[in-house]
Amino acid sequence: MKFIKEIWLKNVYCVLDAIADRDVLHDAWSGKSNYPTSPEEIYNEVFSDAFLGEYARPELGLDEAQKAAGKAFIDSLEQFDKIGGPELPWQEVIDHPGWIEVREAAKKFLDLLKPQA
């Protein structure tokens, strides 16, 4: 199970790190990065590629603070999705108050996971 946790943490760390950094997202969303992406792709990475929604799985062994931060992050994405979310143009998403909450939740979750990464 340690192998699964290590892979999950590595994938999650990369996704959260990008989401938490406004400048990285700006460059990626505006096409200035070597790794162009979009708000929609971020949702795909979170829910399909990195399996971030799996934060509560017992085999990952996250503590209660980490699980709470994971839930807050996923909740912030779901809330942002309800107000237009990833379908909005990236220029509207990048500094949207709802996306700022997503970014802050990503950073908190990332900071709590870092000691394990």
Q: How far apart are CA 83 and CA 42, in angstroms?
A: 16
Q: pLDDT tens for residues 88-106?
A: 999 999 999 999 999 999 9
Grade residue 51 by pLDDT with cuts at 50, 70 and 90.
confident
Contact call for residues 53 and 11 (beta carbons, < 8 A) = no
One-letter amino acid at 107 equals K
- For 13-47, what is each residue's pLDDT tens digit? 999 999 999 999 999 999 998 888 999 999 999 98
Q: What is the structure's pLDDT at 6? A: 87
pTM of the model: 0.91
Would you say 75 and 3 are in contact if contact means Cβ atoms under 8 Å apart?
no
DSSP state, 47?
Answer: I
Q: Please give the pLDDT value at position 85.
A: 86
Residue 17 corresponds to which tokens in the numbers above?
A: 């790190």
DSSP H or E stretch at residue 35: none
